[in-house]
Amino acid sequence: MTVKRKTSTNQVFELFATKDAKITVRMLDKLTILVEGDSTAIEFLGKLLLAHAKSDEHSVQLSPHGAGRNRFSKESTLGFYVHKVPCEAGSGRVARPFRPKPKPADK
């Protein structure tokens, strides 16, 4: 009987290291984020999310200006942070409710 090992998020990065898997993440409009890429890029993102879901890691973060930047296209303006709850590393959820910025008062 073989033991099936979990794929880590680092292993997903290693698997796609030589592939040109570039995703674009940016605001499409005020309420929508665009996540765009070719088949290889979407497969990378899918495998990354599945590996994270099955791992003991509580979060994974990528940014076009930081860690993981090689996976982003030049058009990307946003990164993402995926946080699994419940989280033993912290006190709970990280997400905050969306609150639009107040408009300046008319003078």
- Sign, CA torsion 91/100/46/71: negative
What is residue 92's predicted lDDT score, i.e. its pLDDT? Answer: 57
| Within a domain: 14 | yes
What domain count does the chain have?
1
What was the pLDDT predicted at 93?
Answer: 57
Let me know if residue 4 belongs to a domain: no
CB-CB contact of 82 with 52 (8 Å): yes
pLDDT digits (tens, 9 = 90+) for 11-69: 999 999 999 899 999 999 999 999 999 999 999 999 999 999 998 888 999 999 998 89
What local confidence, expressed as pLDDT, does residue 36 receive?
96
Tell me how far apart the alpha carbons of residues 49 and 14 are, in angstroms, rounded to a whole number.
15
- Asked whether residue 99 is domain-assigned, the answer is no
Q: Is residue 49 part of a domain?
A: yes
Token pair recorded at residue 59: 């979060």
In a domain, 38, yes or no: yes
User: Is residue 103 a part of any domain in this protein?
Assistant: no
Does residue 76 carry a pLDDT above 60? yes
Question: What pLDDT was estimated at residue 38?
Answer: 96
pLDDT for residue 22? 95
Asked whether residue 23 is assigned to any structural domain, the reply reads yes
